[in-house]
Amino acid sequence: MNTQPSDKKKDLLKRYGYRFGQMRLRTMSHLGLDVFETERFGCYSKDMDGKLFLDALSVQGVFNLGRRHPVIVEAMKKGLESLDMGNNFFMSEERLQLADKLAETTPGDINCFFFSSTGSEAVDLAIKVARGYTSRPGIISATECYHGITGFALSTNSNPDYVEPFGPLVPEFSHVPFGDLSALKNEMTEKTAAVIFEPMISEAGLLIPPDDYFSGVRELCDAHESLLIIDEVVSGLGRTGKIWGIEHFEGVVPDIMVSGKGLSAGMYPMAATMFREEVADFFLTYPFCHYSSTSGSDLGCVAASAMIDIINQPEFLSEVNRKGARLADGYRELLKRFPDLLESYGQLGLHTALRLADSSGGFRMNHYLAEEGVFALLATNDTSAIRIQPPLIITDDEIDKILDALGRALKKMN
Ligand SMILES: Cc1ncc(COP(=O)(O)O)c(C=O)c1O
């Protein structure tokens, strides 16, 4: 097989490295992922030299509905006849329609919204409001977490690769091991504004906490009059077989939830911070404390409304669960075949990860899967794990292709 890039691609890669950074490009080349996407459809994208990649990551949920889902493309084409981003100072029917639809899906009285462009911004707003609403500074997050790249979101992070060059970060942020209630109890004080967690941590290779963890977290937050922020940027919108990941923890209503990535089906940058009514009252005192020129764009709202209609269709979530179970069956077979290489797997719907015995196994797996034409991603906060989060519209046949590729990759690692 000719793995040498064409002359055209070589030239583009050279220019790309110069414009966007050599080290980043070198790393991607090393992993076999120096891809210039041309065609993109369903669960696939094609490199300019013709290699077809099966997407087993969907950019952690951006492409939950695959690439250029025809219903979303049509909705946006129609939107383009009369809309643009919209003037963010004015009201917008498209924005209101999206808020109404989201409110139908969110737990409890999480009925109030602010739309942004990225998950990081949406997390920043959640933290700002928690601090403003409680008049306290303290934010507690998980040691293993990732919530984004902007100021407040970045400060929740403890991975030196992300934070080391930028210190000192925002003060009064601290970390506790995920899933450990007594550690959280010890960390909470009368200065704690909020606790922010994902329902299950993606960046650390899918850490799923005990069933009673979040009811305990909720109780601790109530006892300290602190807010509970749940980051659903990856786990939301059907990924785990429920619309929101936190629904796996019965009866737990967060004070603030954050969504992003797949919210507009990979067609327009869009994220949401979602508040309980009482918390949203903060904006009565500070109505203009936070806004962004491109936030809550009308075209993004059109795409997002069409996306919600799709994931709300009967059978959508049961199909996600059925396909997740098919993937997990395959993982169990692989664990039997490669007991020395594979340690365990995690799975909720199509939110899955495989943990290898070797602490850097995720890198090698990433490389070998790319050779097999499958794009997945190691977990950056636990490089022994590889995240497999395919589009939710994946077919049984495509799931089997991922499993076959995993089997072949593991054989090469043996
Ligand atoms: C759990 C979680 N929260 C927030 C973010 C930040 O979202 P964005 O990359 O859109 O800024 C990410 C990004 O991967 C994420 O995984």
| Protein residue with least CA distance to atom 9, ligand 1 | 119
Please give the distance of CA 34 from its chain centroid, rounded to a whole number.
22
What per-residue confidence (pLDDT) applies to 3?
72
| Sole residue written with tokens 């707003």 | 125
How does pLDDT run across 78-119, given as a tens digit for each residue?
999 999 999 999 999 999 999 999 999 999 999 999 999 999
Question: Does the pLDDT of residue 219 top 70, yes or no?
Answer: yes
Give the position, in ligand 1's atom list, of the atom nearest the Cα of 150: 11
Report the C-alpha gap between 309 and 39 in whole angstroms.
Answer: 26
Q: What tokens appear for 98 in the block?
A: 């999206």
Decide if 110 contacts 275 (C-beta within 8 A).
Answer: yes
Question: Which residue has the CA at smallest separation from atom 15 of ligand 1?
Answer: 147
Q: How far is the CA of 333 from the centre of ligand 1 (A)?
A: 32
**Does the residue 7 lie in any domain?**
no
Q: Give dist(CA 14, CA 28) in Å, integer.
A: 13
Whether residue 72 is contained in a domain is answered as no
Sign (positive or negative) of CA dihedral 242, 247, 248, 250: negative
Mutation to probe ligand 1, out of 124, 206, 233 (largest number of atoms < 8 A from CB)? 233
Q: What is the DSSP letter of 371?
A: H
How many other CB atoms are there within 10 angstroms of residue 332's CB atom? 10
Note the pLDDT tens digit of each residue in 307-346: 999 999 999 999 999 999 999 999 999 999 999 999 999 9
Within 6 Å (CB) of ligand 1, which residues are found?
A: 60, 118-120, 123, 146-149, 198, 202-203, 231, 233-234, 260-261
Q: Which atom of ligand 1 is nearest to the CA of 118?
A: 10
Task: Give the pLDDT confidence score for residue 339 in this predicted structure.
Answer: 97
349 and 406 in a common domain = yes
Q: Kindly give the number of the ligand 1 atom that is closest to the alpha carbon of 145.
A: 1
CA 385 – CA 382 distance, rounded (Å)? 6
Residues 369/376, Cβ–Cβ less than 8 Å: yes
Average pLDDT for residues 139-160, to the nearest whole number?
A: 96
Q: Tell me if 215 sits within 8 A of 222, measured CB to CB.
A: no
Q: Are residues 393 and 332 in the same domain?
A: yes
Give the residue from 300, 275, 262, 270 showing the smallest Cα distance to 116. 270
Judged against a pLDDT cut of 60, whether residue 379 lies above it is answered with: yes
pLDDT of 87: 94
Torsion angle of C-alpha atoms 169, 19, 123, 89, degrees rounded to 10: 120
Same domain, 88 and 51: no
Q: Which atom of ligand 1 is nearest to the CA of 261?
A: 10
413 CA → ligand 1 middle, Å: 31
Residue finishing a domain among 286, 311, 336: 311
Does this model's pTM top 0.95?
A: yes
Q: Average pLDDT, whole number, for the chain?
A: 96
The answer to whether 333 and 349 are in contact (CB under 8 A) is: no
Residue in 316, 312, 300, 313 with CA at minimum distance from that of residue 264: 300
Q: In terms of domains, do 129 and 189 share one? A: yes
CA of 351 to the centre of ligand 1 (A): 15
Instruction: Give the contacts of 381 (CB within 8 A, at least 6 positions apart).
Output: 144, 145, 146, 159, 201, 203, 204, 205
The answer on 400 and 292 residing in a single domain is no
| Probe residue for ligand 1, chosen from 146, 202, 239 as the CB with the greatest number of ligand atoms within 8 Å | 146
235-260 average pLDDT score: 98
User: Per-residue pLDDT for 1 more than 60?
Assistant: no
Closest ligand 1 atom number to CA of residue 269? 10
| Buried-exposed string 250-282: b where 16+ CB fall within 10 A, e elsewhere | eebebbbbbbbbbbbbbbbbbbbbbbbeebbeb
Q: So what's the pLDDT on residue 414?
A: 86
User: How many domains does the chain divide into?
Assistant: 2
Q: Are residues 94 and 56 in the same domain?
A: no
Structure tokens at 194: 């909020």
Could you give the residue ranges of the DSSP H alpha helices within 3-54? 7-20, 22-30
> Per the domain annotation, does 95 fall within a domain?
yes
Alpha helices in 32-92 (DSSP H): 58-61, 70-80
Say what the alpha-carbon torsion angle 327, 331, 333, 336 is, to the nearest 10 degrees.
Answer: -170
- Kindly give the number of the ligand 1 atom that is closest to the alpha carbon of 121: 11
Longest CA pairwise span in the chain (Å) = 64
State the CATH number of the domain containing residue 331: 3.90.1150.10
Which band of pLDDT confidence, cut at 50, 70 and 90, is reported for residue 2? low
**Quick one: 106 and 210 in the same domain?**
yes
Ligand 1 midpoint to CA 148 (Å): 5
Ligand 1 atom showing the smallest separation from residue 203 Cα:
16
Q: Are 175 and 160 in contact (CB under 8 A)?
A: no
- The DSSP H or E segment spanning 410 is helix 396-413
289 and 151 part of one domain: yes
In whole angstroms, give the CA distance from residue 4 to residue 90: 53
120, 264, 377, 378: which to mutate for ligand 1, most atoms within 8 A of CB?
120
Is residue 388 within 8 A of residue 349, CB to CB? The reply is: no
Domain hosting residue 120, numbered range: 82-311
| 56 occurs within a structural domain | yes
Question: In the listed set 284, 311, 338, which residue is the last one of a domain according to the structure?
Answer: 311
Please give the DSSP secondary-structure letter assigned to residue 6: P
**Tokens representing residue 127 in the block:** 């933290």
Q: Is residue 223 part of a domain?
A: yes
Which ligand 1 atom sits nearest the alpha carbon of residue 148? 6
Residues 145 and 202 grouped into a single domain? yes
CB atoms within 10 A of CB 395: 13
Cα(203) to centroid of ligand 1, in Å?
A: 10
Tell me how far the alpha carbon of residue 260 lies from the centroid of ligand 1, in angstroms: 7
Helix axes 93-105, 298-311, angle to 10 degrees: 30
The verdict on residue 196 lying in a domain is: yes
pLDDT value, residue 291:
87
Ligand 1 pocket mutation, candidates 58, 229, 234, 389, criterion most atoms within 8 A of CB? 234
Separation of 185 CA from ligand 1 center, angstroms? 26
Do 286 and 220 fall within a single domain? yes
233 CA distance to ligand 1 middle (Å): 6
Q: Is residue 287 part of a domain?
A: yes
Tell whether 161 and 43 lie within a shared domain: no
**Rounded to the nearest whole angstrom, what is the distance from the C-alpha of residue 245 to the centroid of ligand 1?**
15
* Domain termination site, one of 311, 345, 365: 311
